[in-house]
Amino acid sequence: MPVKVLVVDDSGFFRRRLVEIFESDPRLKVVGTATNGKEAIEKVQSLSPDVVTMDYEMPVLDGIAAVVNIMKLKPTPVLMFSSLTHEGAKVTLDALDAGAADFMPKNFEDISRDSAVVKKALIDRVLAVARTRLAGSRAPVEPLAPRKAPKPIVTAKGVIIPRVRKRVGLVAIGTSTGGPMALQAVLSQLPSDFSAPLVLVQHMPAAFTGAFAERLNNICQITVREAKNGDRLEAGVALLAPGGKQMMVDPRNGGCVKILDGDERLNYKPSVDVTFGSASKSYPGKVLSIVMTGMGADGREGARMLKNSGSKVWIQSEESCVIYGMPMAVEKANLADDIIDLEHIGERIVREVG
């Protein structure tokens, strides 16, 4: 059965072009279109699409209000389209907060060209969003069990040697689809006196990461900011890799980050693999890394390097992921030291860092 798509946009050109692209793939079937948010809500209820593509700026009712109502009345995966501006980024984050599963930049020039790359990207994203898990569909998560003290080592001569955990020198988190809300859930649990620096990699366009860092900083007790070349790694400060760039961890000057343009051959800018790999060399055996929700396998090779250097690798559980792609890649490579529900990751980080 093909995936049923509802296309919502007040631009006749954009609607027609999306319909053409989706109908060119036998895995997709456009079951309807809508020109405003009110019409979208009605058609979601009458047509029961598997996924909705949603514009933000529309008459009668905008995209965010439409998403809020859809999630109340008939929860359905939504892919938002937004402009590549700072304001567009803030609107997109509001839409994700309202329940949208993912987003794509709305670029009329790209969509008007008969580009195989653009068509594939759109189709792949819609198919992926159709498979996402909605927050309300997840089973309740059990509370985290009280922490047990590590058992001491008893030698043959009866000498008791307490187990000493390696101090965490750096927390590194990588994520993609579903990541903005997942990072918000995790980082908001960290206290203001958190005693380790953090580096964050979220797959996002360049125009979005600044607004995302601002939002995280406003809701978290720790400090969150978009990383700049030479920024120092400081306890209680999370540096978010800027979109379109690569962020590497540098051990010099007490620990800092380098922001580079990176290799054009890399699929992701920023890339979790690049940041994790550099962290494995800069903080051997002292990194606590977490791979969270997202499409693809970015983070797997970086996790391998971290494991080989003696650091820990955690992944988000399948049940709590929007898309279990990146964590699954780490799990299938037998690199995960622990699999944790999203609701418990923040608390576990606090425990581990101490």
CA angle 77/80/81 to nearest 5° reads: 155
- Report how far apart the first and last C-alpha atoms of the chain are (Å, whole number): 50
Exposed/middle/buried for residue 52 (C-beta within 10 Å: 0-12, 13-18, 19+): buried
How far apart are alpha carbons 312 and 335 in whole angstroms? 9
Catalytic residue of the set 298, 317, 320, 341: 298
Measuring CA to CA, how many Å separate 354 from each of 191, 192, 195?
11, 13, 8
**Angle between helix 206-219 and 86-98 (nearest 10):** 60
Asked if 203 is an active-site residue, the reply is: yes
3-class SS of residue 214: helix
How far apart are alpha carbons 220 and 178 in whole angstroms? 18
CB 3 within 8 A of CB 50: yes
pTM: 0.86
- Of residues 67 and 119, more confidently modeled: 67
Asked if 86 is an active-site residue, the reply is: no
Catalytic residue of the set 176, 271, 278, 317: 176
**DSSP secondary structure letters along 278-321:** HHHHHSTT-EEEEE-SBSS-TTHHHHHHHHHTT-EEEEE-GGG-
How far apart are alpha carbons 320 and 317 in whole angstroms? 6
Longest Cα–Cα distance of the chain, Å, equals 82
- The two domains 3-132 and 161-353 share their CATH topology (first three levels equal): yes
CB 315 within 8 A of CB 331: yes
Instruction: Kindly calculate the radius of gyration of the chain based on its CA atoms and give it in whole angstroms.
Output: 22
pLDDT value of position 137: 47
Asked if 176 is an active-site residue, the reply is: yes
pLDDT value of position 142: 58
Percent of the chain scored above 70 by pLDDT? 88
- Of residues 88 and 139, more confidently modeled: 88
pLDDT value of position 136: 46
- If you average pLDDT over every residue of the chain, what do you get? 89
CB 99 within 8 A of CB 68: yes
Cβ neighbors of 271 (< 8 A, separation 6 or more) are 201, 246, 262, 298
- Of 204-213, 216-225, 303-312, which range is least confident? 204-213
Catalytic residue of the set 10, 82, 203, 282: 203
Q: What is the helix (H) or strand (E) element at residue 100, kind and residue range?
A: none
CB 32 within 8 A of CB 47: yes
pLDDT value of position 112: 65
Tell me the mean pLDDT in the region 29-42. 97
Name the fold adopted by 161-353.
Rossmann fold (3.40.50)
CB 289 within 8 A of CB 174: yes
**How does pLDDT run across 141-159, given as a tens digit for each residue?**
556 555 555 556 566 666 6
> Within a 13 Å sphere around the CA of 49, how many CA atoms are in the beta-carbon half?
30
**How does pLDDT run across 250-268, given as a tens digit for each residue?**
988 789 999 998 667 777 8
The domain 3-132 having CATH identifier 3.90.1010.10: the answer here is no
**How does pLDDT run across 303-323, given as a tens digit for each residue?**
999 999 999 999 999 999 999
**How does pLDDT run across 72-117, given as a tens digit for each residue?**
999 999 999 987 777 888 888 999 999 999 998 887 666 666 678 8
- Confidence tier at 161 by pLDDT (50, 70, 90): low
**Domain boundaries in the chain?**
3-132, 161-353
**Angle between helix 300-308 and 272-282 (nearest 10):** 10
